[in-house]
C-alpha cells in the first residue's frame, strides 16, 4: 500500500502535537488502534480506516493518479 495515507495521518498528528495513542483516545479508540489501522489495508474489515477522516481533520479527497 502507498505510504500517502499513513504519511497524511502522521503529518496531521505532528501538526496537532499529538501521538497516535493520544489521538486514538480522543476518537474513543484503543491505545494502539491508529497504529494497527495504519498497518492494515483500508479494505481489511478489521481496520478502522473509516475513522481516518476524523484523524485528519480536513476532509481528504481520493482521486485517480494523474488527475488534479
Look at the chain and report how many structural domains it folds into. Answer: 1
Residue 43 half-sphere exposure toward CB, CA atoms < 13 A: 1
Pairwise CA distance, residues 14 & 62, whole Å:
22
Structural domain for 40, as ranges: 4-55
Closest CA to 33 of 15, 16, 13, 14: 13
Global confidence as pTM: 0.56
> For residue 63, is it within any domain?
no
The predicted pLDDT at position 1 comes to 46
Pairwise CA distance, residues 53 & 55, whole Å:
5
Phi then psi for residue 65, to 5 deg, are -60, 145
> For residue 67, is it within any domain?
no
> For residue 68, is it within any domain?
no
Question: Is the model more confident about 21 or about 67?
Answer: 21
> For residue 66, is it within any domain?
no
> For residue 27, is it within any domain?
yes
> For residue 50, is it within any domain?
yes
Pairwise CA distance, residues 63 & 29, whole Å:
28
> For residue 60, is it within any domain?
no
pLDDT in tens, 9-62: 788 888 888 888 888 888 788 888 888 888 887 777 777 777 776 666 666 667
> For residue 48, is it within any domain?
yes
Amino acid at each position: 500500500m502507498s505510504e500517502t495515507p499513513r504519511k497524511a495521518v502522521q503529518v496531521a498528528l505532528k501538526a496537532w502535537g499529538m501521538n497516535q495513542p493520544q489521538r486514538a483516545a480522543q476518537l474513543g479508540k484503543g491505545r494502539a488502534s491508529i497504529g494497527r489501522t495504519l498497518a492494515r489495508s483500508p479494505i481489511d474489515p478489521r481496520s478502522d480506516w473509516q475513522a481516518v477522516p476524523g484523524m485528519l481533520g480536513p476532509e481528504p479527497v481520493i482521486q485517480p493518479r494523474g488527475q488534479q
